[in-house]
Structures are given as structure tokens and as C-alpha cells.
Structure 1
Amino acid sequence: MENVVFTQLSIPEVRQLFRQELEQFFKERPPVPPFSLINIENYYTRKITAKKLKISLPTLDDYTRRGIIRGCRVGRRVLYRPEDVDAALKEINSVKYQRG
């Protein structure tokens, strides 16, 4: 078990410690490209994705929530990468029913 040490810190000292921790956190994170650099023309909309998969929009929403297909939220929209749609199509295994 770790030893816990309680000390009194002034408000400026707490701010300085907090600032150092935040700077360290953001230095370790990879940079995220700004929204303007993301080319959303290469993404599928919900309607196009549902047509490609031949499913309804509520089913697509359910699959996205369950993690069967991966969606990307861009603002209020949900878009799908073509690679993710193709991967979802490949993962579906058809089951043949045999009489037993």
C-alpha cells in the first residue's frame, strides 16, 4: 500500500501542478487533424451505408451501437468509412441450416 502524504498547498501552487499535468498529458497525445483537413467526401452517409448493406436505417443504428459496424461522428452526423463497411460485410458469416 502506498503512503499518503497530506500537505498544504497555496492556490498558485495547485494551479502550477495542474498546469504541468495538463501539459504532460497533451504532449503524450498524438495530434488530431483539424476538421477542415478531414475529407468527408470519402465517407458514406447513413443512407448510402444502409443501401450498400441492404438494411434499414434503424438496423444500421442498432449495428453501430452494438459495434458490428464502426461509425464516425462528425458534428451531429454519423459517417462510415468505406473500409469499415467492407470489413462489416466480410465479417458476416452465413449459416446454412441442415436437416439433422
Structure 2
Amino acid sequence: MDISVNGKIILAPLIKTEIGSKVEMLNNNIFNFNQIAFDEIIKKEVERLVRLRMDDFERKLSENYCFDDKLLSREEVAIKLDISLGTLDNQRKRGKLKGCAIGKSVKFRNSEVLTYIKSLKPC
């Protein structure tokens, strides 16, 4: 609850929220706030916090799910990994990169290729 003294707003104890904690440090000071300006400050802070939460959510979602799980040819995977077809075949035979046989050709799920990339250790 805000308390007004001589047209000035004294920020009373605020609900413990992320926004509240930012404004809370101003609790014991007296400010002459224009209501529109105060609303704009709150609106911008809420938008910033929503963006942060959405960015975090999207990052976690992209780490756990693959939205593009189409089948890739050997050539496409070799280009994507910047390796030769022979190296790709060796990685598949060793079980490091899983492929699936469709007729006489071998295809790779995009999610398997991404899993393989994540499993690589940095040099």
C-alpha cells in the first residue's frame, strides 16, 4: 500500500516479488511520482522480467527437444559435420552416430546428429 504525504508518495512495504525487491530498496525515501510515469516504470520492468523468463524457457526447451527431426542423407550429415563420408561411415559403424537403413541407403535423424554433436568433447 502506498501512503501519500503532502502530495508525495512514500513507498510502503511491498509484496515480495522480483519487481518488489527492486523497488523495496527505495522504501524509506519520499518520491514525487507522476502516476503515469510510475505505471510506465512498472510496465517496463514487467516486460523485462517476462522477456527474461521467456528467453530462459526457450533455451531450456531447445536443449531438450528437437523440432526439426527430418531424415538426412549421408551427404547432408557429412556436410553438416564437416567430415568426409568415410569418417561418417566409421562413426556409424562404431555406434557413435546412429543411422537407419531405408532400402539400400542409410539415413540419419537430425536429432541423432544433434545428440552426436553434443556428445563431442572440446579439444
TM-score (norm 1): 0.53
Report the CA distance between 1:42 and its aligned residue: 2.0
Task: Tell me which residue corresponds to 2:86.
Answer: 58
Higher strand share: 2
In 1: Cα distance, 2:121 partner to 2:86 partner: 21
With CA pairs under 8 Å and 6+ residues apart, which has the higher RCO, 1 or 2?
Answer: 1
Indicate the residue corresponding to 1:85 in structure 2. Answer: 113
Tell me the distance in 2 between the aligned counterparts of 1:93 and 1:59: 17
Q: In the alignment, what sits opposite 1:70?
A: 98
Percent of paired sites with the same residue: 35
AA aligned opposite 2:90 = D
Tell me which amino acid in the other structure corresponds to 2:98.
Answer: R
Mark the runs of 5 or more structure 2 residues left unpaired by the alignment: 1-68
The aligned counterpart of 1:20 is none
Size of the aligned set, in residue pairs, is 55
- Write the mapping of 1:1-100 to structure 2, written as runs, cut at 5 A: 42-95=70-123
Q: Which has the larger radius of gyration?
A: 2
Instruction: Please give the alpha-carbon distance, in whole angstroms, between the structure 2 residues aligned to 1:63 and 1:42.
Output: 20
Q: Secondary structure at the match of 1:68?
A: coil
Off by >4 Å, runs of 4+ in structure 1:
none
Q: In the aligned structure 1, how far is the partner of 2:70 from the partner of 2:118?
A: 20
Tell me by how many angstroms 1:94 deviates.
1.1
State the Cα deviation string for residues 19-75 of structure 1 (Å, max 9, x = none). Answer: xxxxxxxxxxxxxxxxxxxxxx92000000000011000000000000110000000
Alpha-carbon separation, structure 2, partners of 1:66 and 1:86:
17
